[in-house]
Amino acid sequence: MPATATKAIPEGQILGRMEQHDHEEVLFCFDRATGLKAIIAIHDTTLGPALGGTRMWPYATEAEALNDVLRLSRGMTYKSALAGLDLGGGKAVIIGDARTQKTEAMFRRFGQFVDSLNGRYITAEDVGMSTAEMVNIKKETNSVAGLPEEMGGSGDPSPVTAYGVYCGMKAAAKQAYGSERLSGRKVSIQGGGNVGRGLAALLVKDGAQIFITDIHEDKLAAIKAEIPEVNVVKPEAIFELDVDIYAPCALGATVNDETLKKLKCSVICGAANNQLADEAVHGMAVMRKGILYAPDFLVNAGGIINCAWERKGYNRKAAMRQTEGIYDTALRIFRSSADLDIPTYLAANQAAEHRITSMREAGLRF
Ligand code: NAD
């Protein structure tokens, strides 16, 4: 076998990064035969096994992949804790091009790495992955969720995620306007993908006025055909609109210095992960601007709730009912943010940390 060309990993730096946010374990996975290069990060398993999707992305550097997996796995700890799930936080990344480099052998090998963690990490879909890959992973491990419905799985979580965002938006409207009614409210949705489209349908049914955009014209045309009531706008126009609510449902970091100069909304509530470009800076900035920000990891928890039900024996109705709980949790977070005069993201972080710490202190570890 030829010698590996990978550069030496600066161990101290990685352990230092783990220490920064208390990551429990990071597993680097390499397999020459299948070309697999992956990193699995387990952030915290106090509440239960670390459940979080696998992202396949052509990261330019290993440092970029490591950064993403550390950040995303920590986010999952907070999301599950706040959703009241008995799950910890973890995530995996596969370095590669999801359009050209997927093979059955690669995902089976990845499944073996997941299995080597003995149930401490459970994987599912994320960007670049689909139920087809979960089926191949399942051939090697039971530590997988997000399987197709015909295999007893929970299928695509997006409709449940969209419903959770909708419930969170109602709570935000209640806090911001004194009424949860969304009828007549103007809502801009960035991203007409699986969640954005589902959210638009729910809001139109409620009588809200929707402005939606996507970078793909064909997606917008399909949405307009399916939901004729929506107004389609150009991607660059989405931040300039005179709306009540902005719903980021594309990528992260869209709440930043530039967009905050343009946004005219009084509520931000959407599905995208990591909406605040810098949590501390922009979390405070939205508050100062008088915008109620519904923390993303709070309102987009429908997907993880759906996966959690798959582990217990899937029950769609029960998953939807638990997702409805996002309304009460969101109201509780908004009120505690107002009472303590702190940004909503911080109130949400503190609630999640409180649950984890109290279990740890009581010795109730997974
Ligand atoms: P998706 O890939 O189906 O949709 C995203 C859409 O955003 C795509 O249609 C894409 O073309 C569009 N887009 C990308 N950049 C854009 C831009 N600059 N302007 C306008 N549109 C743009 O993804 P999804 O499953 O709908 O998820 C949406 C977001 O919610 C993602 O950030 C995802 O990580 C997050 N999320 C999804 C789930 C879920 O269950 N699907 C759960 C939690 C969080």
Residue 2 is predicted with a pLDDT of: 34
- Chain segment 165-206, per-residue pLDDT in tens: 999 999 999 999 999 999 999 999 999 999 999 999 999 999
* pLDDT (average), residues 289-306: 97
Instruction: Say how many C-beta atoms besides its own lie within 10 A of residue 140's C-beta.
Output: 18
Instruction: Say how many C-beta atoms besides its own lie within 10 A of residue 280's C-beta.
Output: 11
Catalytic residue (choose from 37, 79, 91, 138)? 91
* pLDDT (average), residues 260-286: 97
Is 188 close to ligand 1, i.e. is its CB under 6 Å away? no
Nearest atom, ligand 1, residue 303 CA: 40
Is 299 close to ligand 1, i.e. is its CB under 6 Å away? no
42 CB-side CA count, 13 A: 20
- Chain segment 316-344, per-residue pLDDT in tens: 999 999 999 999 999 999 999 999 999 99
| Predicted confidence band of residue 364 (pLDDT cuts 50, 70, 90) | confident
Residue 79 a catalytic site member? no
Parallel, antiparallel or unpaired: strands 245-248 and 231-232: unpaired
The protein residue with its alpha carbon nearest to ligand 1, atom 27, reads 195
**% of the chain exceeding 90 in pLDDT:** 92
12 pLDDT more than 80:
no
9 pLDDT more than 50:
no
Instruction: Report the separation in Å between the CA atom of 272 and the middle of ligand 1, taken as the mean of its atom positions.
Output: 6
CA distance 147 to 348: 30
Is 77 close to ligand 1, i.e. is its CB under 6 Å away? no
Nearest atom, ligand 1, residue 306 CA: 40
Instruction: Report the separation in Å between the CA atom of 53 and the middle of ligand 1, taken as the mean of its atom positions.
Output: 15
Stated as kind and residue range, the H or E segment containing 43 is: strand 36-44
Kindly state the tokens that stand for 148: 């197709």
Comparing C-alpha atoms, which of 356, 354, 291, 301 is closest to residue 324? 301
209 pLDDT more than 80:
yes
Is 219 close to ligand 1, i.e. is its CB under 6 Å away? yes
**% of the chain exceeding 70 in pLDDT:** 97
The protein residue with its alpha carbon nearest to ligand 1, atom 10, reads 191
Instruction: Report the separation in Å between the CA atom of 276 and the middle of ligand 1, taken as the mean of its atom positions.
Output: 15
Query: Ligand 1 pocket check: which of 214, 296, 298, 310 to mutate, most ligand atoms within 8 Å of Cβ?
Result: 214
- Chain segment 15-44, per-residue pLDDT in tens: 999 998 999 999 999 999 999 999 999 999
114 pLDDT more than 70:
yes
Instruction: Report the separation in Å between the CA atom of 212 and the middle of ligand 1, taken as the mean of its atom positions.
Output: 13
| Predicted confidence band of residue 3 (pLDDT cuts 50, 70, 90) | very low
Query: Ligand 1 pocket check: which of 161, 202, 232, 320 to mutate, most ligand atoms within 8 Å of Cβ?
Result: 161
Comparing C-alpha atoms, which of 153, 92, 101 is closest to residue 121? 92
Residue 156 is predicted with a pLDDT of: 87
Ordered domains of the chain (ranges, CATH): 14-72+88-150 (3.40.50.10860), 158-302+330-348 (3.40.50.720)
- The angle, 0 to 180 degrees and rounded to 10, between the axes of the packed helices 131-138 and 104-115 is 60
CA distance 282 to 197: 27
Instruction: Report the separation in Å between the CA atom of 194 and the middle of ligand 1, taken as the mean of its atom positions.
Output: 7
11 pLDDT more than 80:
no
- Chain segment 121-147, per-residue pLDDT in tens: 999 999 899 999 999 999 999 999 999
Return phi, psi of residue 332, to 5°.
-60, -45
Residue 127 is predicted with a pLDDT of: 87
Kindly state the tokens that stand for 331: 């109201």
Is 190 close to ligand 1, i.e. is its CB under 6 Å away? yes
User: From residue 33, how far is each of 73, 108, 109, 140 by CA, in Å?
Assistant: 27, 12, 9, 17
Return phi, psi of residue 246, to 5°.
-110, 125
8 pLDDT more than 80:
no
Is 214 close to ligand 1, i.e. is its CB under 6 Å away? yes
Residue 10 is predicted with a pLDDT of: 60
Is 364 close to ligand 1, i.e. is its CB under 6 Å away? no
Across the chain, what does the average pLDDT equal? 94
Comparing C-alpha atoms, which of 48, 133, 23, 76 is closest to residue 274? 76
> Cβ neighbours of residue 338 under 8 Å, at least 6 residues apart?
175
Number of residues assigned to the chain = 366
Is 161 close to ligand 1, i.e. is its CB under 6 Å away? yes
| Predicted confidence band of residue 83 (pLDDT cuts 50, 70, 90) | very high
CA distance 238 to 150: 38
